[in-house]
Chains A and B, each alone.
Chain A
Amino acid sequence: MNNFINILLWVVYVISLYFSVFLFLVYVDKKNKFREEESSLVLPTEPIITVIVPAYNEEETIIKTLESIYNLDYPKSKLEVIVVNDGSKDKTEEQVINYIKNKPYFKLISHLNIGKAASLNKAISLAKGLFFACLDADSVVDPLTLRRMLSLYYRENDPDLAVITPAMKIYQPKNIIQKVQWIEYLVIILIARISSHLDSLYVAPGPFSIYKTNIIKKLGGFDEKNITEDQEIAYRLQKHHYRIKQCFNAYVYTTAPKKIKPFYRQRRRWYLGSISCISKYRQLIANRRYGDFGMMQMVKNVLGYLLAVTGIIAAIYIFLIPLIRHLKNLWIIDLNIIPYIKNFEINITWLGFLTADFRKGTIIIFIFLIGLYLFYQAHRNANERMLKLGFIPLIPYFGFYYLLKGIILLLSVLEFARSRKLKW
């Protein structure tokens, strides 16, 4: 058993190292290109843009969201805002009706609860814009975001460019859970930017990604059965060789879950959606026709899940079992640790140092260094100061945040496997 776990760990370490090195190489390679990338705010033309706001019981935040759309730096005559009230039971509808008075380009459609993807599809069928954007009621958009994204679109000048994704940041992080996610999102922005340069983005995040209306219509709109419609559409676009680009300085601020339980629910939904997407589009995995997306991103996604699951199991084996043994030992000696404390001395000897595992250690150190480098670059990339939120969020971030995510992932994988079994 020990040997088996050992080999498994080696595989996890080496593959993780490979992906880290690859990411690092792409970043170093593209660094100069990144520096020049500066979206201008002047557009050759200003097309009609539709903004769809799906809302279900959002009375507390909806006005703030609509306000941020109203404040967009874009001609009002070229904007169309469709608020879709998906059968809210609270005062969302009243609030919206009040707000959109005297704003002719704001529309409200209401129906009984049919789900988010279906609501979006309904709105898309009405959309007049060249692009449409979705903005959940828990997010607000920066005034310049739309302009920056469109300028990227005209610079790329590619009819197959189907989606431009923004850089998502956490809206006013207050407690530690939100602050950790604030850091996480910065790192995600950088990694998405690197993926964007490899045409390997696999999520078109719900908040204010702008979608080319005719392409989405052609592909049949959002998948109403998938729980993460923003991932599903991205995989579908990739499958049909459309492009997804990230606009690294087009900011959208989204409210992060404040408590553990909603956090768990959110991540569980993401992971389950992601696993079902990968399983749905498994023919893309290691498919050379799909270039870097098939050969690297899809493989990485699949392996990433496998590695995380293996890693968690190994971590449990390595940390949890000795922990249980120690607790059992404490119980055997009736919790009488006084003799141990009396004789306690810290013995840092050369020999003690030499008993460390340098073989795996070296790999871990390199992965950590690359991680640290990208962590630093992520802050610069997102134009945020290092340690803006202080040292404290770093402790969970580097300490156990990824372990926590891994555990949620493990639970999601198990859940997915179970549901598949039931279906068969």
Chain B
Amino acid sequence: MDKKILEHPFPRKDNSSKTNNSSKIDNPSISDNYPKIGASKTGGFRKISRDKYILAGIITFLIFSLGLTLGSIFEDQRYNLVEEINLEQDVKFLSLQMQYLFLNSFSNYNNCPILAATLKEAIKDIDDSLKGIIEKEEDNNYSPKRGQLVQRRYILDNLRYWILARESKQKCDLDITTILYFYSTDCPSCPTQGTILTYYRQLFGDKVLVFPINLDLRSDEPLVEIMIAQHEVDVLPTVIIDDQKYEGVIKKEDMGDIICQSLKNATQCG
């Protein structure tokens, strides 16, 4: 910091000129001959630390810019990391697909447990790593383009896992429930449904697989539109459990019953 700028004399101790024209305007009742400070010294104006106002402005601007820079640097980092995760997901999905293909072509159902494990792990991964990002992106769009791509990608991932999970369930007779969850950020009762779904996902662990589809992206991602048409979604929230469609919020108890009917042996169902 430039010392010269900071050093500023305090020109107060000057009692030479005593005439003051400003006080008369401000308060006519005060006698004019009474000596007044400050205003008399700089021609009717008191001292202004202008250099400090400017310096403070510059420093504020620098800190502000530093914040913006750090923000974009870390944002880049974040998207890079997301890309890495997506790449990992691609490999995992490919592996799953191959496992499924193997299973189909050789009808070797011994591979089922491996497939189930891989599937559950992949879904858990995508949930752990990307869910926070997605929620963040839904809240505020710092770079709308990239954010939107991340969100679209998330939906596509969810959908392909959903398809694979449904098929594997039939082929391998897996004891899982697949739940497709249509919602949007401005739907008032969706948070309630979301909470209930999260609750059962927590309760049943990897037996309940929830695939959220955000309808805000219907104009960007054609597949969302296809899903809407396919399942004739016109109420939010809509939940598809296994292949059964439920419109509107499913209450906690009802949701529990539906899941327990779908699962063969879950200790949580009592």
Residues of A within 8 A of B75 (CB): 354, 358
- The CA of A291 and the CA of B49, in the complex, are separated in Å by 8
Q: Which of B45, B55, B67, B136 has the most CB of A within 10 A?
A: B67
* Bound Cα distance A2, B139 (Å): 8
Contact of B67 with A359 in the complex, beta carbons under 8 Å:
yes
Chain B residues contacting A240 (CB-CB under 8 Å) are 23, 26-27, 30, 36
* B37 and A361 within 8 A (CB): no
Check if B53 sits within 8 Å of A295, measured CB to CB.
yes
> Which parts of A264-305 form the interface with B (CB within 8 Å)?
288-296
B52, A22: Cβ atoms under 8 Å?
A: yes
Chain A residues near B7 (CB, 8 Å)?
29
* Tier of interface size on chain A: 35 or more
Nearest B residue to A360 via CB reads B67
User: Contact check: which of B63, B73, B82, B191 meets A17 at CB < 8 Å?
Assistant: B63
Q: Give A308-344 interface residues, CB cut-off 8 Å to B.
A: 325, 328-329, 332-334, 336, 339-340, 342-343
For the complex, is B74 an interface residue (Cβ under 8 Å from A)?
Answer: yes
* Residues of B in contact, count (CB < 8 Å): 65
Residue numbers in A under 8 Å from B191 (CB-CB) = 325, 328-329
Q: How far is the CA of A219 from the CA of B23 in the complex (A)?
A: 13
A360 to B140, CA, bound (A): 13
A291 lies within 8 A of B48 (CB)? yes
Residue A373 interfacial (CB < 8 Å):
no
B252 interface hit (Cβ, 8 Å)? yes
Question: Does B202 interact with chain A (Cβ within 8 Å)?
Answer: yes
Q: A6 on the interface (CB 8 Å rule)? A: yes
Nearest 8 A-B pairs (CB), nearest first? A291-B46, A362-B67, A359-B71, A160-B37, A339-B202, A22-B56, A354-B78, A339-B203
Tell whether B145 is near chain A: CB-to-CB under 8 Å: no
C-alpha gap A18/B53 in the complex (Å): 9
B111 at the interface (CB under 8 A from A): no
Does A29 contact B27, Cβ atoms closer than 8 Å? no
B144 interface contact, C-beta 8 A: no
Residue of A nearest to B84 (CB): A351
Does B13 contact A17, Cβ atoms closer than 8 Å? no
Complex interface: chain A residues within 8 A of B70 (CB): 358-359, 361-362
Residues of B within 8 A of A242 (CB): 36-37
Tell which of A239, A292, A342, A361 touches B47, judged by Cβ atoms closer than 8 Å. Answer: A292
Q: Which residues of B contact A347 (CB under 8 A)?
A: 128
Contact B38 A291, beta carbon cutoff 8 Å: yes
B60 touches A18 (CB 8 A): yes
B98-106, B151-159, B192-200 - interface stretch: B192-200
Whether B196 lies near A332 (C-beta < 8 A) is: yes
Task: From B12, B57, B74, B82, give the contact of A199 (CB < 8 A).
Answer: B12
Cross-chain contact B8 with A366 (CB below 8 angstroms): no
Residue B132 CB within 8 A of the other chain: yes
CA distance A197 to B9 in the complex (A): 11
Interchain CB contact under 8 A, A350 and B81: yes
* 9 pairs from A and B in contact (CB 8 Å cutoff): A21-B63, A160-B36, A240-B36, A288-B48, A292-B48, A295-B48, A332-B252, A334-B252, A339-B203
The yes or no answer to A399 lying at the interface (CB within 8 A) is: no
Let me know if A357 and B27 touch, CB within 8 A.
no
Within 8 Å CB of B136, what residues of A? 355
Taking CB atoms and an 8 Å cut-off, the chain B residues in 155-200 that contact chain A are 191-192, 195-196, 199
CA distance A207 to B188 in the complex (A): 55
What CA separation (Å) do A243 and B38 show in the bound complex?
9
- B37 touching A21, Cβ below 8 Å: no
